[in-house]
Structure 1
């Protein structure tokens, strides 16, 4: 019987940790590990992306939607470099991912050898919580176990570097000897309880407020029942940071929706007018959308002491699990008798959703992108998982989709990188193969890497219990978000050489792979297209011709932004008349009387 190699032990240890998926791309720097996959019967399962960056994004998507650690793997040199963007996405969104990367043989290190890169330095920032190179077999258990534990504990990326020759060495465990480091499997998480005195003080502060606003993020996802109870007692409205969109359903009458640049008017006005702020599981960074200093008294609850006390001068900064802290808080809260603040918020929220529907129905040339999202919103399966790419699609994801039931959703929140929409969806399908997954991507993101990952979908979709993975492409031949940022933020016309995209038939490309491709050229076709995709027996690409002149400007856009857009027109923007016309028609919906048909 052949002896166990370091690579064999690596995969065995991953299996013992419960890791059953590795998102990866091969290369000779990990040949030893690839051979081990073959001997192990592909357990854990090697999932081949088209590019290492996509492997990292898929691991992030898998971790976001499974609650488990995501594992990605790449070869030395260029493969390792390609992982970085996805790992930074994990770092900024606080997602546990472990990167396992190859390295040139130890004998070649320092010799300017082919594909030799100083990987410890390369990963020093992105995997700052833990990055280590295994140089002898006895190191491996400790290094791998620590990488997994730290990734889970810190909700951060970590990295394990294994030179190619070390992978092929016979595995020998650490001995009971000086300078050997034994290791062990598993981790038991503590129940982090809040400080009693802080809870009582926070309750007193919240009881004194008459206009309470709550802000929740992804850290409140496991505390939805407690958030509801606190909101009901305090008569509060609840705004959601972008990564917390799925932490509480949008069909609750007091949920004001997203906050910030991609946020809603009710969230903006609630923060503008509140006298008390309770933030739960969120590190929302845009302080200009928070209450003014001195306007509101504040309480923050977060499990991460490194993220506590940020963004606003809170009086009580409570480190605890969100659900545990709220359960401790609830007995001390007094139900507010005056419900006028809540009633006013609920009225504004009702009006907001009416306005969103009206804006989605504004005629465009040919299709209003908001209508693409609005038509899905009423048809969303209760167990759907939604991903969105960065760009204008993130605006409509934040504002137009009304989450209900057990719907999950995410995007690249803090890095806001282009490209993760489709690979996130692939990661989600491997996390939940029994659930339908829908990805929204602009045509820029599709051309950057989404089209290539359709090949990955083609390769694996028949393994999923529910074959529905829908990629909706906002096809407008324009890098639309940057186009609008140039107009609104810089007051300059769109530079067509940088903003125009080549015209591609995304549906035909999908059909060529054996997927379902649907071209949508008219707004009246949208409802039927969604229903066909949601009933399909295979993944679908919806190639939707959207109007680039529909403005993704926040509903609370400043006068300065409007003035800058006007300046862009005067400087000769090619689409000047189109975006003036569509902007006026869209914005007018906020001021016209609405009704539910």
Structure 2
């Protein structure tokens, strides 16, 4: 084998059999070797239109499957394009291996075409491991360490391969001084904290009368344990955005998302609890957590760097969420006082009425909340839902009721615009039998979504279930930032930066041989979803929505109210903004009435 052929064989031995990438002469030998593995049916290659999409897809693959994601690119601009998606992996703590081509070793240091110092370029995003392979026998330990570190430390790693090395004969390292011999052996680590820590945590939780649980992405595989502990302690469960699928929203004590995109019951849960259990989350916005000193705290996280980071916890348990909770359960006592739980359930029931009332308020032409409210009861079993950054994330976070078996994710820590469609593509490649729905704003769709639709059109016929629906909220506004200008800066919409061009998204779908659906009438939203969900091919569902329906936070501060009022004199769409805000506020106050 040559070096490139060994690369693909070794990655297969590690279980990495799907690669997202784009070719180039800096990775030419790697491309040629990949073709042989694709022809033999050993590796599935997904050709993207832009390397950033490859890295996003590898990150989503890791999130949805729990496996290490794999992407590759050529030297120079190709490698640079990977960075945004790799930072998404870093900030959301998932393992991704990136293979990067490089110019010939003999040319490095000569300011050669497409020569970029990739070690320096990637030293932050791949701080856990980055290596340039300069000798054939080095490839074995470079790949072994890259995959193991990506998997065990949940981080992106980078292997750089100069193009004049890629075709050289591969040989295992010699048995000689200066050589090392790595392997693929299984990593077995401790996933449960010591008994002393578990008992200390149990003492705190048992003494609590008003227990609040916050579940994050690290708790996605701990659903049964979370529900059992909530039942024992009479607790409510709030969810960080990346933990949306951790527990079902149909349960009466699940308060939904937390934060600016969160719910009022989650706000009340955190502000009024006397005991706080945080599981698998590094939720960054401490103002939405209990006030320090008002609640005793216990935190569980596999990564010790996340412990006591957002709240001064009394006991910190480093371990796997499911395994640690499982060990904790026998030490907990049943809380017979159910008054706290009953209050939570009343507030949650009232909140769903508020959301329905908000969704049903009139708008010009469509209320975006109505689009999500009509989707929620129609979500297929085991659906995979992705969302992009922007105001669309508000409606995704609040209005969609997750059920058991569903998966959902977005770009969390990085909050990158344009991740929703590559996430959907990766979800579909990993689970072709499932229905996948991407929730997009028009800004994100114009940035990356139109690009990824070409990739979807290339691969959809190979899926056992062809249903992949891309919802686009077309409001011709970079809406989240527009509302941030109004609420945070006290300024009206800056049209030169915020207004974006109209585009016929549904017609673009038809141009690609896919299905396009357009809806601008609230009476037709439900039938539009039913048509999309029964289609025999991927769909772009374009909804013409009102940009001046406010994404109300769960708790409006005096400072936010003052900023909003200050923005009105400079607001070019003042009448529409006032009317839309008034309708939403009225619906919040009188959810049972008409607005």
Asked if TM exceeds 0.5, the reply is yes
Give the match for residue 10 of structure 2. Answer: 13
Contact 1:438 1:469 in 2 (8 A): yes
SS in 1 for 2:260: coil
Give the match for residue 109 of structure 1. Answer: 108
Give the match for residue 554 of structure 2. Answer: 555
Q: Is 1:537 the counterpart of 2:528 in the alignment?
A: no
Q: Is 1:477 the counterpart of 2:476 in the alignment?
A: yes
SS in 2 for 1:206: helix
TM-score (norm 1): 0.98
Q: Distance in 1 between matches of 2:348 and 2:185?
A: 45
Q: Is 1:33 the counterpart of 2:35 in the alignment?
A: no
Contact 1:194 1:324 in 2 (8 A): no
Q: Distance in 1 between matches of 2:38 and 2:346?
A: 59
Contact 2:4 2:167 in 1 (8 A): yes
Q: Distance in 2 between matches of 1:318 and 1:405?
A: 27
Q: Distance in 2 between matches of 1:39 and 1:339?
A: 63
1:506-562 CA distances to partner (integer Å, 9 max, x unpaired)? 000010000000011111111111111111110000011000000113131212112
Instruction: Give the alignment partner of residue 580 of structure 1, picking from 578, 581, 586.
Output: 578
Give the match for residue 524 of structure 1. Answer: 523
SS in 1 for 2:221: helix
Contact 2:247 2:404 in 1 (8 A): no
Instruction: Tell me the CA shift for residue 405 of structure 1.
Output: 2.4
Q: Distance in 2 between matches of 1:418 and 1:577?
A: 29
Q: Is 1:129 the counterpart of 2:111 in the alignment?
A: no
Deviates more, 1:277-286 or 1:303-312: 303-312
Give the match for residue 460 of structure 1. Answer: 459
Contact 2:467 2:533 in 1 (8 A): yes
Q: Which 5+ residue runs of structure 1 have no aligned equivalent?
A: none
1:386-412 CA distances to partner (integer Å, 9 max, x unpaired)? 000000011111100010121110011
Q: Distance in 2 between matches of 1:102 and 1:324?
A: 40
Instruction: Tell me the CA shift for residue 191 of structure 1.
Output: 4.4
Give the match for residue 414 of structure 2. Answer: 415
Give the match for residue 395 of structure 1. Answer: 394
1:200-247 CA distances to partner (integer Å, 9 max, x unpaired)? 111111111111111110111111111111101111000100000001
Q: Distance in 1 between matches of 2:307 and 2:481?
A: 33
Instruction: Tell me the CA shift for residue 594 of structure 1.
Output: 2.6
SS in 1 for 2:165: helix
Give the match for residue 308 of structure 1. Answer: 307
Q: Distance in 2 between matches of 1:452 and 1:383?
A: 27
Q: Distance in 1 between matches of 2:453 and 2:198?
A: 50
Give 1:177-576 correspondences, 5 Å limit.
177-571=176-570, 573-576=571-574
1:287-310 CA distances to partner (integer Å, 9 max, x unpaired)? 101111110001001111121121
Q: Distance in 2 between matches of 1:396 and 1:16?
A: 42
Deviates more, 1:511-520 or 1:323-332: 323-332
Instruction: Tell me the CA shift for residue 187 of structure 1.
Output: 2.2
SS in 1 for 2:158: strand
Instruction: Tell me the CA shift for residue 593 of structure 1.
Output: 4.7
TM-score (norm 2): 0.98
Q: Is 1:165 the counterpart of 2:164 in the alignment?
A: yes
Q: Distance in 1 between matches of 2:132 and 2:43?
A: 22
Q: Distance in 1 between matches of 2:472 and 2:142?
A: 42
Q: Distance in 2 between matches of 1:322 and 1:395?
A: 27
Instruction: Tell me the CA shift for residue 595 of structure 1.
Output: 8.4
Give the match for residue 73 of structure 1. Answer: 72
Q: Distance in 1 between matches of 2:115 and 2:318?
A: 43
Give the match for residue 589 of structure 1. Answer: 587
Contact 2:94 2:156 in 1 (8 A): yes
1:9-29 CA distances to partner (integer Å, 9 max, x unpaired)? 101111111111110011110
Q: Distance in 2 between matches of 1:449 and 1:285?
A: 27
SS in 1 for 2:472: strand
Q: Distance in 2 between matches of 1:456 and 1:439?
A: 14
SS in 2 for 1:23: strand
Contact 2:507 2:516 in 1 (8 A): yes
Instruction: Tell me the CA shift for residue 188 of structure 1.
Output: 3.1
Give 1:45-124 correspondences, 5 Å limit.
45-124=44-123
Aligned residue pairs, count: 592
SS in 1 for 2:293: coil
Instruction: Tell me the CA shift for residue 563 of structure 1.
Output: 1.6
Q: Distance in 2 between matches of 1:595 and 1:486?
A: 31
Contact 1:354 1:595 in 2 (8 A): no
Contact 1:351 1:594 in 2 (8 A): no
Contact 1:61 1:424 in 2 (8 A): yes
1:244-283 CA distances to partner (integer Å, 9 max, x unpaired)? 0001110111001000111100000111111110111111
Q: Distance in 2 between matches of 1:189 and 1:286?
A: 34
Q: Distance in 1 between matches of 2:386 and 2:198?
A: 36
1:343-388 CA distances to partner (integer Å, 9 max, x unpaired)? 0000000000111111111110000001111100010112100000
Instruction: Tell me the CA shift for residue 83 of structure 1.
Output: 0.3
Q: Distance in 2 between matches of 1:22 and 1:201?
A: 45
Contact 2:356 2:591 in 1 (8 A): no
Contact 2:260 2:554 in 1 (8 A): no
Q: Which 5+ residue runs of structure 2 have no aligned equivalent?
A: none
Deviates more, 1:43-52 or 1:73-82: 43-52
Contact 1:487 1:564 in 2 (8 A): yes
Contact 2:433 2:463 in 1 (8 A): yes
Q: Which runs of 4+ in 1 moved over 3 A?
A: none
Deviates more, 1:190-199 or 1:470-479: 190-199
SS in 2 for 1:590: helix
Instruction: Tell me the CA shift for residue 581 of structure 1.
Output: 0.5
SS in 1 for 2:583: helix
Q: Distance in 2 between matches of 1:484 and 1:39?
A: 51
Deviates more, 1:125-134 or 1:517-526: 517-526
Q: Distance in 1 between matches of 2:36 and 2:17?
A: 15
Q: Distance in 2 between matches of 1:201 and 1:170?
A: 58
SS in 1 for 2:535: coil
Q: Distance in 2 between matches of 1:594 and 1:298?
A: 37
